[in-house]
Amino acid sequence: MTREVSRPQRLRGTIEIPGDKSISHRAVMFNALANGSATVTNLSGGADCTSTISIFRAMGVEIERSPGAAGRGDTVHITGVGMHGLIEPNEILDAGNSGTTTRLMSGLLAGRPIMTIITGDDSIRSRPMGRVIKPLRSMGAEISARNDGELAPIVFHGGDLHGIEYDMPVASAQLKSCLLLAGLRATGNTVIKQPDVSRDHTERMLEGMGANIEVNGLSVTTSASELTAADVEVPGDVSSAAFWIVAAAAHPDADITLSNVGVNPTRTGIFEVLRAMGVDIELINQRDVAGEPVADLRVRSSQLKGVDIDGDVVPLMIDEIPVIAVAAAMAEGTTRITDAAELRVKESDRISATVAWLKSAGVEHEEAEEGLTIHGGGRIQSAVADSFDDHRIAMSLAIAGLVSEGTIGIERSESVDISYPTFWRDLDTLSGVVA
């Protein structure tokens, strides 16, 4: 489906951001393996978390799901089966479009005395899985996969897990989490050494549920553990909030408030970059919810300027770079994004996808293997662009439409449902189309 978006006269209002997708996945996964029962509220309603729930149901975990209150995510009640209680499914496990589900489940399935197979859609079957399979094999897991162990479907045949010391080649929360979850069932210590900081939701939640977790700088150590079920109130997803932050900052007449947003410091590299670009972001009502820092965000129209984005901050905002390209196009001066090769292996090649719409919208740019350069000037022309079935590309195109000189047509716009099913409703609310 193609949807057209153009610039409204103003952007105003308060919206509640959907539950954080990363935390939602983990709340379901860890409670499914815990002893006891727990309730998770404000769960992300996207297709990715639905895939995670379906997989655990197929392996014998009782999960009840019901809609949340107006403006809130779903509520799920999970009865855990313990660290060793998953049963062999009678079907292939389908992760849909979710890389988080595929990679974290790999750590949970490795070394179990049952056979399991996990796969996903075309995107998942083309994304690199060797980065988790190789270290899991070194822990003793018996795993086979397409393309000599590089691509899904992935088959887990059992094996006896033992701890390892592993130097991660990239700063990836998915890889780190996968190995930590395998380490919870391994003999001896599992030590993960990161090249840079990555999201720490796994460490925070596992520690709160009683796992043996020790963080020392960039090194994380775990060992065999049992988990105790814990209720989780999922904060709003800062990656989803980033779209509205950019929209408000780049629009000439905007003042919006985003409620209940997670502001975990391993996720707020986007704030550092946007503030350097001149964005007016105010954190209100800062508090702590279930071990995660949360705040309301007020964002107003801002004078944007180009910046250089590179180094340690990139892993902390990798999912937000597509919408940063919109801010860069509307900024004065040049924005250079480097050290972002990971964008090539997301739900789409997000560098190529971003370059495609910049070209069609008349924004001057240059593409590089690990990033891109965008020459701003505040003009985004009318264009029709493909989302490549990538939710973050589709939403970035919508934000480009909100600040464009004409209209942006978004092909395959329904892909926003993967992470943000209420995106179009919220866009209409802020644009004044609906109350």
Segment (H or E) for 22: helix 21-32
Q: For the chain, what is the HEC assignment?
A: CCEEEECCCCEEEEEECCECHHHHHHHHHHHHCCECEEEEEEECCCHHHHHHHHHHHHCCCEEEEECCCCCCCEEEEEECCCCCCCCCCCCCEECCCCHHHHHHHHHHHCCCCCCEEEECCCCHHHCCCHHHHHHHHHCCCCEEEHHHHCEEEEEECCCCCECCEEECCCCCHHHHHHHHHHHCCCECCEEEECCCCCCCHHHHHHHHCCCCEEEECCEEEECCCCCECCCEECCECHHHHHHHHHHHHHCCCEEEEEEEEECCCCCCHHHHHHHHCCCEEEEEEEEEECCEEEEEEEEECCCCECCEECHHHHHHCHHHHHHHHHHHHHCECEEEECCCHHHHHCCCCHHHHHHHHHHHCCCEEEEECCEEEEECCCCCCCEEEECCCCHHHHHHHHHHHHCCCCEEEEECHHHHHHCCCCHHHHHHHHHCCCC
Q: Please pick, among 20, 94, 296, 319, the residue that the annotation labels catalytic.
A: 319
- Look up residue 281 and give its two tokens: 């972001």
Q: What are the residues facing 373 on neighbouring strands?
A: 336, 366
Our answer to whether residue 319 is catalytic in this structure is yes
Sign of CA dihedral 129, 135, 138, 140: negative
Dihedral (Cα; 409, 415, 417, 423), 10-degree rounding: -20
Catalytic positions are: 319
